């Protein structure tokens, strides 16, 4: 009996959407969790640092936040291994949210230049990590 998939994809496996790649094992998950814990420790340490300028602290905190976000999304939520359509759905929501967020701050917020630049930076990093452009896929 033919399935719906066969009706749409008569040529079989080669034309099917990418199936789940093998997910990581417990050891990799624990390793990711250790990295997340270390980054959280670094974030808290940065909060108490006095010899850095506030711009440097904010930039570092946003960078660390982005790394943590990406690690959870790519490994724990398996976006790195699952079919790209899930990634596109999520990134669409994320980019829309950040765009609205930027427009609101630009419209109503005064003196938020560094914050807006930082958020734009986060947006670019997220786009690169989640979108996995061609040049990264080849590597």
* Site for another protein contains 42 (CB under 8 A): no
* Site for another protein contains 94 (CB under 8 A): yes
Among 81, 98, 121, 131, binds another protein (CB under 8 A): 98
- The structure tokens listed for 121 are 């930076």
Q: For another protein, which is the closer residue by CB, 14 or 138? A: 14
Query: Sign (positive/negative) of CA torsion 39, 40, 43, 48?
Result: negative
The H or E element spanning position 77 is none
Q: Based on the number of CB atoms within 10 Å of its own CB, is 75 exposed (0-12), middle (13-18) or buried (19 or more)?
A: buried
Q: How far is the CB of 19 from another protein (least distance, A)?
A: 8
Q: For another protein, which is the closer residue by CB, 44 or 139? A: 44
* Site for another protein contains 62 (CB under 8 A): yes
* Site for another protein contains 36 (CB under 8 A): yes
User: What are the C-alpha distances in Å from 16 to residues 2, 5, 12, 22, 82?
Assistant: 15, 8, 7, 17, 13
CA dist., res. 139 & res. 135, Å (int): 7
Contacting residues toward another protein, per CB under 8 A: 3-6, 8-9, 16-17, 20, 23, 25-26, 29-30, 32-33, 36-37, 40, 43-44, 46-47, 54, 57-58, 61-62, 64-65, 68-69, 72-73, 75-77, 83, 85-86, 89-94, 96-98, 100-101, 104-105, 108-109, 112, 115
């Amino acid at each position: 009996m033919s399935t719906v998939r066969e009706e749409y994809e008569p040529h079989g496996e080669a034309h099917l959407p990418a199936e789940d790649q093998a997910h990581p094992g417990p050891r990799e998950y624990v390793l990711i969790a250790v990295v997340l814990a270390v980054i959280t420790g670094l974030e808290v340490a940065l909060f108490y640092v006095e010899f850095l300028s506030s711009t440097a602290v904010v930039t570092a905190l946003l960078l660390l936040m982005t790394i943590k976000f990406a690690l959870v999304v790519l490994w724990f939520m398996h976006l790195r291994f699952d079919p790209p359509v899930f990634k596109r759905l999520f990134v669409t929501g994320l980019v829309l949210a950040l765009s609205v967020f930027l427009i609101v701050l630009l419209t109503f917020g005064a003196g938020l230049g560094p914050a807006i630049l930082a958020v734009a930076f986060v947006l670019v990093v997220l786009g690169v990590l989640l979108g996995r452009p061609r040049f990264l896929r080849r590597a």
